[in-house]
Amino acid sequence: MQNEMFEDDKNLDELLSKAEDIELDSTAWPHALAELVSIFKDEMTSSAKLDESKALKLAKRLVARQAHHMGGRQYYLPRDERLKKALRDVDIWQRYNGRNIDVLQREYGLTSQQIYAILREQRQLERDRRQHKLFG
């Protein structure tokens, strides 16, 4: 796994910062990574109002970090309704405070059973992430 490659390396940030200096061409950055850099850069220039140079450096660093953590594995990225549902579920999980089921229910047009099911699923995902960090 990718984590093994840097397992004993305390200079991961230094290694990732070198990604900022790599020219964005097809030989240094495979097509999919170059495309991600472009998407991240465009989002940071439009939404975060970063200048092109800073956005490009940060985009390269983010993609390098993402490749470090997710590289070598295949992932399914949802689109359209599945993406909206996944983002909604994360939002519900982050906004849940233990006492606001009725508020979440009204805002998202869901039943309390649906909210509880989403919370169970998100809690399990969070538990899996934390346990992976402990044992992975």
Can you tell me the distance from the alpha carbon of 10 to that of 3, in angstroms, rounded to the nearest whole number?
A: 12
75 falls within a domain? no
Of the pLDDT bands very low, low, confident and very high (cuts 50, 70, 90), residue 5 is: very low
Give the structural domain span for 20: 2-70
Judge if 62 and 90 occupy the same domain: no
Judge if 21 and 53 occupy the same domain: yes
In the predicted model, what is the mean pLDDT of the chain?
A: 84
Asked if residue 10 has pLDDT above 70, the reply is no
What's the count of helices (H) and strands (E) in the chain, helices before strands? 7, 0
Number of domains in the chain: 2
Statement: the pTM of the whole predicted model exceeds 0.75: no
Judge if 57 and 85 occupy the same domain: no
Question: What secondary structure letter does DSSP report for 1?
Answer: -
Asked if residue 132 has pLDDT above 70, the reply is no
Asked if residue 101 has pLDDT above 90, the reply is yes
